[in-house]
Amino acid sequence: TLSKGINGLDKILLRESRGSSAEVYLYGGHVTSWKNDHAEELLFLSSKSIFKPPKAIRGGIPLCFPQFSNLGPLESHGFARNRIWTIEDDPPPFPTNNLSKAFVDLILKPSEEDLKIWNHSFEYRLRVALGPGGDLMLTSRIRNTNSDGKPFSFTFAYHTYLSVSDISEVRVEGLETLDYLDNLQNRERFTEQGDALTFESEVDKIYLSTPTKIAIIDHEKKRTFVLRKDGLPDAVVWNPWDKKAKSMADFGDDEYKYMLCVEAANIEKAITLKPGEEWKGRLELSAVPSSYCSGQ
């Protein structure tokens, strides 16, 4: 169902029969809320988020396309996250998510203005779906519709902001021993140690060639997020910590304690599409109670 959200922006509410729900703004094709069947919010959304174009919504799941971060000539994280998307009633069939009844299909195509800053014609189809168990599933399909025969290349991320009870109680499993580029050290390449990641200062790393499954364990909440991804080899881990938090106008000074971004991404090797070709990248998130013995 379509309704008006903050500042009159259009949003869609998805509700699954057992009670889980998600909210998607047409502004950015942006998931701003994902709740389990106890109505507990699982995504972080900043109380200072501006909800006004052209500033992207701070929190939820911004879509970074066609450029991750400032790794190219475009604005940070590209422009998909601050354009108004449209609902697509009858998209070409999606191969996945057939079991879900709670879903919405959105599409973004470049405007004349967009073509001036990135001269490529594309169709970006996004399906947001809730699985029967309340899993949140995002499928992106990006097609090159250039008529001039030109290929294009892009980088991409699902910039997922997870809600956590206390960042100092969080552990991430699945990225240990991997190589990463450290955004805080000129994107130099390092290798992660053998232990699960924990957090005690600013972190901004691009892990390379990561497994399809990453677990984010919130000890205090006794909750584990399981992130599964397909077509997205890299994973960004970001927490601004106190100093950077203070420098961001749309982020509360203390909010870094209650969030962690773990972003399924394709950054190191840009994706190149020839005209007519389509790329697909999928993110699946589930939130499960942590079992007492997990990882002990």
Q: Which is nearer to ligand BG6, 134 or 240 (CB)?
A: 240
If binding means CB under 6 A, how many residues of this protein chain bind ligand BG6?
Answer: 10
Contact call for residue 238 and ligand BG6 (CB under 6 A): yes
Q: At CA 47, angle to CA 46 and CA 48, rounded to 5?
A: 85
Using CB under 6 A as the binding rule, whether residue 236 contacts ligand BG6 is answered as yes
**Active site annotation includes 220:** no
Of 171 and 205, nearer to ligand BG6 (C-beta) is 205
How big is the CA angle at 267 (ends 265 and 270), to the nearest 5 degrees? 120
Residues 260-289 as x/- pattern, contact with ligand BG6 by CB under 6 A: ---x--------------------------
Distance CA(214)–CA(276), nearest Å, equals 32
Q: Which of 16, 255, 263, 284 is catalytic?
A: 263
**Number of neighbouring beta carbons within 10 Å of residue 52:** 13
Per-residue b or e along 22-40, where b marks 16 or more CB atoms closer than 10 Å to that residue's CB: bbbbbbbbbbbbbbbeeee
Amino acid code (one letter) for 37:
D
State the nearest-atom distance from the C-beta of 58 to ligand BG6, in Å.
7
Phi, psi of 289, rounded to the nearest 5 degrees: -65, 135
Calpha distance 67→120 (Å, rounded): 13
Q: Rounded to an integer, what distance in angstroms lies between the CA atom of residue 63 and that of residue 141?
A: 12
Note whether 77 binds ligand BG6 by CB under 6 A: yes
| Residue 152 or 158 with smaller CB distance to ligand BG6 | 158
Helix (H) or strand (E) holding 278: strand 278-289
| Cα four-point dihedral sign 262, 267, 269, 270 | positive
Q: Give the residue at shortest CB distance from ligand BG6.
A: 76
Under the binding rule (CB under 6 A), the answer on residue 255 touching ligand BG6 is no
Binds ligand BG6 (CB under 6 A): choice among 46, 69, 97, 121: 69
Does residue 207 interact with ligand BG6 by CB under 6 A?
Answer: no
Report the nearest approach of ligand BG6 to the CB of residue 64 (Å): 7
* Residue number, 103 or 256, with CB nearest to ligand BG6: 256
Residue from 35, 125, 141, 159 touching ligand BG6 (CB under 6 A): that is: 159
| Amino acid type, 131 | G
Q: Which of 23, 159, 173, 284 is catalytic?
A: 159
Q: Does 171 bind ligand BG6 (CB under 6 A)?
A: no
Say if residues 89 and 104 touch (Cβ distance below 8 Å): no
Measured in degrees and rounded to the nearest 5, phi and psi for residue 123 equal -125, 120
* 183 forms part of the interface with ligand BG6 (CB under 6 A): yes
Cα Rg of the chain (Å, integer): 18
38 labelled catalytic: no
Q: Which stretch binds ligand BG6 (CB under 6 A): 69-77, 126-134, 143-151, 266-274?
A: 69-77
Cα–Cα distance for residue pair 223/100, rounded to 1 Å: 24
* Residues at the site binding ligand BG6, with contacts judged by CB under 6 A: 56, 69, 76-77, 159, 183, 204, 236, 238, 263
- Residues classed as catalytic: 159, 263
